[in-house]
Amino acid sequence: MSKNICFIDGLEGILKYREIDVNELVDLPYDAISYLLIQGELPGEQELAEYSARLRGERKIDGRVVDVIRMCNFDIDAMEALRTIVSFMSQFDPDLNDNSPEGNMRKAVRLIARIPTIVATYYRMANGKEPITPDPALSHGANFLYMIRGSKPDALEAEILEKDFILSAEHELNASTFSSRITASTLSDLYSAIVSGLCTLKGPLHGGARTEVMTMLEEVACPENAEEFVLGKIERREKIMGFGHRVYKTYDPRGKIFKQLAKELAETKGDMHWYETAEAIENVAIRELVEKKGKPIYPNVDFYSGVIYKYMEIPPQLATSIFAIGRVSGWIAHCFDQYERKKIIRPRAFMLDEC
In the region spanning residues 240 to 279, those forming contacts with ligand ACO, defined by CB under 6 A, are 240-246
Catalytic residue among 164, 302, 334, 337: 302
Give the C-alpha separation, 98 to 154, whole Å: 40
Based on the residue annotation, tell me whether 334 is a catalytic residue of this protein: no
Rank residues 29 and 242 by Cβ distance to ligand ACO and give the closer one: 242
Asked if 148 touches ligand ACO (CB under 6 A), the answer is: no
Q: At what angle are helices 78-89 and 190-201 packed, to 10 degrees?
A: 170
Query: At residue 19, what are phi and psi to the nearest 5 degrees?
Result: 70, 15
A 10 A CB-CB count for 190 gives 30
Give the C-alpha separation, 326 to 170, whole Å: 8
The answer to whether 165 touches 181, Cβ cutoff 8 Å, is no
Binding range to ligand ACO, per CB under 6 A, among 39-47, 52-60, 205-213, 306-314 = 205-213
Give the C-alpha separation, 227 to 175, whole Å: 32
Based on the residue annotation, tell me whether 206 is a catalytic residue of this protein: yes
Binding range to ligand ACO, per CB under 6 A, among 68-76, 127-135, 145-153, 233-241 = 233-241
Asked if 223 touches ligand ACO (CB under 6 A), the answer is: no
A 10 A CB-CB count for 37 gives 23
Give the nearest residue (CB) to ligand ACO.
Answer: 244
Q: How many residues bind ligand ACO (CB under 6 A)?
A: 18
Rank residues 32 and 241 by Cβ distance to ligand ACO and give the closer one: 241
Asked if 306 touches ligand ACO (CB under 6 A), the answer is: no
Binding range to ligand ACO, per CB under 6 A, among 13-21, 206-214, 218-226, 342-350 = 206-214
Q: Which of 109, 107, 254, 82 is nearest to 167 (CA)?
A: 254
DSSP 6: E
Binding residues for ligand ACO (CB under 6 A): 174, 205-207, 209, 239-246, 295, 297, 300-302
Residues noted as catalytic: 206, 245, 302
